Amino acid sequence: MHIKFYAKKSLGQNFLIDKEIAHKIPSLASDISEKRILEIGPGFGSLTHSILLQKPKYLFAIEKDHRFEQPLLEIKKLNENFNFQIGDALDNFDYYTEKYSIIANLPYSVATPLLLKWVYSSSLIEEIIVMVQKEVALRITNTYQDAEYSRLSIITQTVYDSCICFDVAKECFDPQPKVTSSVVYMKNNGKKYTEKFLQTLEIVTFHAFSQRRKKISNSLLLLFGNNTKAILNDLGIDSQKRAQDLSLNDFHLLTRFSIEEKYDV
């Protein structure tokens, strides 16, 4: 018997109903036959089925909505290399203790916090292929001086090389979202950063972009006080620029300086 599932706005649900797109997303990954895959928000399993057709070594899914437990159990009965958990992906689940990749149609409401979480988990993540709203995709991939360059750009690009693969029309979902979606590919760049570095980078970028229309020398005053202009000049950063004009390397310089000089960030 076919059961109609109604999307919950509170969970940011928009179900992918286009089978062609569902098959196209996992095909973007490198050979996954030996990979452990994590999927977030599988729902009734549209993308899940397509991932399993690629025969991954193991697929683990996390679904917050308990209504989908039964359809996911049906998938599990037919696939011994699939399992799932009902719960919140933002909680501290130990997904895997070995390297894994992520393929998911992310609920709009949790896309950004999940991406930030995966920055801290990057030592175990090989690649990420996610569908998000296009605005978020641009914020992930844009570089300095681009319109959507943001904190998310800087933090994710610190550990991942990213690109937008293709856009997905509203008609591919039920219910139809009000915005266009995009599929983003993120590859671990192999660079290692301490948790302290990443935490400090979050704080530095928070201050820099909290007043993005202001010059960087003004937006960082709360961090560096009256020495802000002198610090920027010493680091070779133009104090007249705004946050969106600073490169990834500029923010890394500010982060390292904050740690080394023990600024209270």
pLDDT per position as a tens digit, 204-232: 999 999 988 899 999 999 999 999 999 99
Q: CA of 85: how far to CAs of 22, 180, 263, in Å?
A: 21, 29, 41
- The answer for residues whose C-beta is within 8 angstroms of residue 135's C-beta and 6 or more apart is 148, 179
Q: CA of 161: how far to CAs of 47, 157, 211, 222, in Å?
A: 24, 6, 27, 31
- Give the residue-averaged pLDDT of 89-105: 90
Residue 36 has which token pair?
Answer: 């452990």
Domains and CATH numbers, the chain: 9-188 (3.40.50.150), 195-260 (1.10.8.100)
* 257 within 8 A of 231, measured Cβ to Cβ: yes
pLDDT at residue 263 greater than cutoff 60: no
pLDDT at residue 5 greater than cutoff 80: no
- Give the residue-averaged pLDDT of 100-108: 93
Largest CA distance in the chain: 70
Q: Is 41 annotated as a binding residue?
A: yes
User: How is the beta sheet containing 125-133 ordered, strand by strand?
Assistant: 82-86, 58-63, 36-40, 100-105, 125-133, 181-188, 160-168
Q: Whole-number mean pLDDT of the chain?
A: 92
Q: Is 88 annotated as a binding residue?
A: yes
Q: Is 79 annotated as a binding residue?
A: no
Q: What is the enclosing helix (H) or strand (E) of 254?
A: helix 248-260
Least confident of 8-12, 63-67, 252-256: 8-12
Q: Is 234 annotated as a binding residue?
A: no
pLDDT at residue 17 greater than cutoff 50: yes
pLDDT per position as a tens digit, 133-155: 999 999 999 999 898 999 999 99
Residue 93 has which token pair?
Answer: 């689940």
pLDDT at residue 158 greater than cutoff 50: yes
- Confidence tier at 174 by pLDDT (50, 70, 90): confident
Q: Is 235 annotated as a binding residue?
A: no
User: Distance between alpha carbon 18 and the CA centroid of its chain, in Å?
Assistant: 23
| Helix/strand/coil percentages in the chain, nearest 5 | 45, 20, 35
Least confident of 7-16, 101-110, 119-128: 7-16
Q: Is 105 annotated as a binding residue?
A: yes
